[in-house]
Amino acid sequence: MTSDPRNSDKALLRTQLVSARAKRAAGLTADDRAADAVQVASAALGVPLIASAVEADKTIASYLPLSSEPDTTALHTALLQQGIRVLVPECVPGTAGEPTLAWIELDAVNSIELQRDERGIPIPKGQRVGIGAQGLVDANCQVILVPALAVTSDGQRLGKGAGYYDRLFAELAKLGSQDTKLNSIAIVFAGELLDSVPTEPHDAPVTAVLAV
Question: What percentage of the chain's residues is helix, strand, coil (to nearest 5)?
Answer: 40, 25, 40
The residue-averaged pLDDT of 128-133 equals 93
Q: Which amino acid is at 22?
A: A
The residue-averaged pLDDT of 179-204 equals 91
Model confidence pLDDT, tens digit, residues 9-34: 899 999 999 999 999 999 999 999 99
CB 100 within 8 A of CB 90: no
Domain limits, the chain:
5-211
Strand extents, DSSP E, 94-204: 99-105, 114-116, 122-124, 128-131, 141-147, 150-152, 157-158, 183-188, 193-194
Single pTM value for the model: 0.91
Distance (Å, rounded) from C-alpha 211 to C-alpha 193?
A: 7
**Which is more confident, 4 or 83?**
83
Instruction: Determine the longest span between alpha carbons in the chain, in angstroms.
Output: 54
CB 49 within 8 A of CB 143: yes
pLDDT value of residue 3: 44
The fold of 5-211 is Rossmann fold (3.40.50)
CB 162 within 8 A of CB 205: no
